[in-house]
Amino acid sequence: MKILVVEDAQERISWFKKRFKDELLIIVSTAEEAIKKLTYDLQWDCIFLDHDLGGAQLGADGFNEKTGTEIAKFLKNKEYKGQI
């Protein structure tokens, strides 16, 4: 299984590495890195998104490019066909 993890907390990263030790696990720590990966490779079995990368929260307008929410919007706009 090919899994993309977008996470910046080391404790959670360690958990993912232990939990999915026998899988192809790609870990990135920013929304920008994730969107680059998803732009060039849409073939993922599972994607895990951190909703508050770096402690970022959504603004009053519902927009913050640093969060997992922005990645989800990117996937929706690209009509991603994988499992989210």
Show me where the domains of the chain are located: 2-77
Note the pLDDT tens digit of each residue in 19-65: 999 999 999 999 899 999 998 887 899 999 987 776 655 444 444 55
Cα separation, 47 vs 58, whole angstroms? 20
Q: Is the pLDDT of residue 2 over 70?
A: yes
Antiparallel, parallel or unpaired: β 46-49 and 2-6 = parallel
The size of the chain, in residues, is 84
* Position 69 confidence tier, pLDDT thresholds 50, 70, 90: confident
Specify whether domain 2-77 bears CATH 3.40.50. yes
Contacting residues for 55 by C-beta, under 8 A, at least 6 apart? none
Residue with tokens 């913050």: 64
Residue with tokens 């951190």: 50
Closest residue by Cα to residue 53 from 26, 74, 31, 35: 31
